[in-house]
Structure 1
Amino acid sequence: MHRTARSAPIAPHVLEEAADWLMRLNAGMVTDEDRAACERWRQTSPDHARAWARAERLLNKLGSLPPSLAMPALDRPPENGRRAALAKLSALLLVVPMARTACRLAEERGWTADLRTAAGERRERQLADGSRVTLNTATAVDVRFDAAQRFVQLRAGEILVHTAKDASVMRRPFYVSTADGLLEALGTRFSVRREEGRTRVAVLEGAVRIEPRSAEAPARPILRAGEQAWFTANGVSPVMPADDTATAWIRGMLSADRMRLADFAAELARYRNGIVRCDPAVANLRISGAFPVADTDRALAMLVSTYPVAVSTRMGGYWVNLSAR
């Protein structure tokens, strides 16, 4: 059965035009001529009308979105930031039917967290006890220290923790929590990565005890230096040697060892604003090498120069597609 025109996808360039009009009409300097021009654009085609209806639905929801998303988009930015704001609004328009779900996810994604990093950003923070936490790209963390414990909650993303000896009389334990369970640091340096439905911990120094969230999970295993494991709320995977791919981000690199191109695309997407798509025809191409995450355009250029892959972009580089060359 063919899709109806109403249910067919709206072309990205049309959504970008709708986002542009949304910015113009909410910039505070709008004129009657601006409103009339927008109305003429809206009436040009049914897709324009559909895109504008979607933009209006988004506008109604922006009030409940985190300020980091809503305000930079609607306050007219300086010209060098305008394309970024426009790309952000265009991306929101792509998923606006799911905006209610996105709002519900705001809390767990960490938009109100104590410590946050944006896509492509890496930041180190020294905590009150002298411990250090390094946040990888798109990471959100809450820190709660009290008289009984030192507690770090990883809401999203990835962190490197280097614990310090507690100087308080209580000798408070140091915990890292994720949605899947609790990690107890036993004098250590370790990384923790949260993904959908699971958490990875890799121990560089010392040891870490894993306690899955479910009360019915098996006994709490201890990982030693040089070991890593994934765990869910219900249990822990077999312990494996901690390889370079788990911690290469600390050195600003994405390390690939015969990684599927589809997985490489998903990993690279963590480090840039926008979407990185991989054509199914080349999804299983195996990639090896070290790629800089601080410059994802350079990483893509390295990929193209080494493998039979073509890179195409849209929306000012916000949308990237990997295909066969």
Structure 2
Amino acid sequence: MADAPSAALPPRVLDEAAEWLMRLHDSAATDADRRACERWRQSHPDHARAWARAELLMNKLGGLPSALAMPSLARSSRHGGRRAAIGRLAALLAAVPAGWLGWRFAGERGWTAEHRTATGERRELQLADGSRLTLDTASAVDVRFDAAQRLLVLHAGAILVATAPDTAAAHRPFRVQAGGGTLEALGTRFSVRREEEGATAVAVFEGAVRVTPERGASRVLPAGQQTRFGADGIEAFAPADESRVAWTRGMLLADAMRLADFAAELSRYRPGALRCEAAVAGLRISGAFPLDDTDRVLRMLVSTYPVDALTRLRGYWVTLVARNISAQG
């Protein structure tokens, strides 16, 4: 059994782990570097523990801080700056156990890190293995990398994942746990979204994803397809639409979308309440709308379609109504 994560590590080992972390996140890193790091990691239990801390720190910070990464780009000419950066990174690694109990108390388990976005916020992370993770608005995900697997646990919202080859010598599958099942990436780029009714939607844009419900047979979802699944099974496959991830570019794309559905989607990016009256719920909306300015989107709707946006509580409560209806807020 592995030692407790809070156990102390020799300063020399922390320095070596910091050196490897910076080397592998240098743009000049090679496969030979990665194999050498793996040999170092396996050569002593302390090395394995130090590297686990390094992965935890990377996942917690969402990547190597640029202030630490920059000195690694010019090893020979800025040796002093590089050594100082390694020292700062080693100090961070030494401090990881101090925050460990607090992270666990917050609901995390194992070697994990939690990332959240607020309403209207999007965030892109580079994980310890080089994979890219983009969080949509109001999303929460745990990153749990260990010796057996690379696991994301999606608690809320949506993510876009672009997997990278694993840096470990022994293959570790890349999985996403969401709702009532697990997804396993087969070299891929895909999106996952937790939906309000309990289902999980997944769309594959490159590669393939194996979908495994908690109670039911697994199926492989190929590129260009999407589906929804729950604990008891998987729905029929349908063509995937890149507009599902237009949010990564700060856009909401609508193609003859019902106004009720449009309002529900826009409300995910807007604090407060956005409602649509039944009289206009079926109105079809098309266009590209900027998610970073939802007030502008409402103005675009009012100027283009026969609707009004009635506001209350200084814009916190908005109701879309037919234009011939008037009300006081």
TM-score range, shorter chain: 0.5 to 0.7
Please state whether the residue corresponding to 1:187 is helix, strand or coil.
coil
Residue deviations 1:205-261 (CA, integer Å, cap 9, x gap): 1110000122xx1x2111111111111111111111111331221221111121111
Q: Secondary structure at the match of 1:316?
A: coil
Residue 54 of structure 2 corresponds to none
Residue type of the partner of 2:192? Answer: V
> Could you tell me whether the CA contact under 8 Å between 1:244 and 1:255 is conserved in 2?
no
Is the contact made by 1:210 and 1:221 (CA closer than 8 Å) also made in structure 2?
A: yes
Which residue number in structure 2 is paired with residue 256 of structure 1? 254
Q: Which amino acid aligns with 2:276?
A: C
Equivalent position to 1:247, from 245, 248, 259: 245
**2:205–2:242 Cα contact (<8 Å) kept:** no
SS in 1 for 2:207: strand
Specify the alignment match of 1:179 in structure 2.
179
- Does residue 136 (structure 1) correspond to residue 139 (structure 2)? The answer is no
Pairing of 1:10-29 with structure 2 (within 5 A): none
**TM-score for the superposition, normalised by structure 2:** 0.63
- Could you tell me which runs of 5 or more consecutive residues in structure 1 were left unpaired when the two chains were aligned: 1-105
CA distance in 2, matches of 1:252, 1:107: 30
Q: Summarize deviations over 1:177-224 as a string: whole Å, max 9, x none.
A: 11121000011111101112101111111110000122xx1x211111
Change in Cα spacing, 1:107 to 1:261, as seen in structure 2 (3 Å) is farther
Counterpart for residue 42 of structure 2: none
After superposition, the C-alpha distances for 1:283-320 in whole angstroms (9 at most, x for unaligned) are 11111111111111111111111110101111121111
Which amino acid in structure 2 is aligned with residue 286 of structure 1? Answer: R
Residue type of the partner of 2:306? P
CA deviation map 1:130-150 (0-9, x unaligned): 111000000000111101000
For 1:138 and 1:275, locate their aligned partners in 2 and report how far apart those are by CA, in whole Å. 15
Q: Secondary structure at the match of 2:186?
A: strand
* Aligned-partner SS, 2:263: helix
Does 1:198 find its partner at 2:199? Answer: yes
> Is the counterpart of residue 117 in structure 1 residue 112 in structure 2?
no
Question: Where does 1:301-312 land on structure 2 (aligned, <5 Å)?
Answer: 301-312=299-310
Task: Work out whether residues 185 and 210 of structure 2, in 8 Å CA contact, stay in contact via their aligned partners in 1.
Answer: yes
User: Cα–Cα, structure 1 residues 300 and 237, in superposed 2: closer, same or farther, change >3 Å?
Assistant: same
Equivalent in the alignment of 1:315: 313
Report the Cα distance in structure 2 between the residues aligned to 1:177 and 1:163, rounded to whole angstroms.
Answer: 15
> Contact conserved, 1:259 with 1:288, CA < 8 A, in 2?
yes
Distance in 1 of aligned mates of 2:178 and 2:137: 17
Superposed displacement of residue 280, structure 1:
1.3
Relative distance call for 1:244 and 1:169 in structure 2 (3 A) is closer
2:120 maps to amino acid: G
Q: Give the TM-score taking structure 1 as reference length.
A: 0.64
For 2:237, give the aligned amino acid: V
Do 1:158 and 1:192's aligned partners in 2 also have CA atoms closer than 8 Å?
yes
Q: Kindly provide the amino acid, as one letter, of the partner of residue 189 in structure 2.
A: R
Q: CA deviation at 1:274?
A: 0.6
Aligned sequence identity (%): 66
Of the three residues 206, 217, 220, the one matched with 2:218 is 220
Q: Would you say 1:281 and 2:282 are equivalent positions? A: no
**Regions of 4+ moved over 4 Å:** none
Cα drift, residue 107 of structure 1: 7.4
Distance 2:264 2:241 in 1: 19
- CA–CA distance in structure 2, aligned partners of residues 280 and 146 of structure 1: 50
Q: Matched residues in 2 for 1:212 and 1:189: separation?
A: 20
Aligned length: 214
8 Å Cα contact 2:312-2:318 kept in structure 1: yes
* Aligned Cα root-mean-square deviation (Å): 1.8
- Cα distance in 1, alignment partners of residues 165 and 157 from structure 2: 25
Q: 1:276 and 1:213 mapped to 2: Cα distance?
A: 34
**1:166 corresponds to 2:166:** yes
Which whole-Å CA distance do the structure 2 matches of 1:186 and 1:252 have between them?
Answer: 27
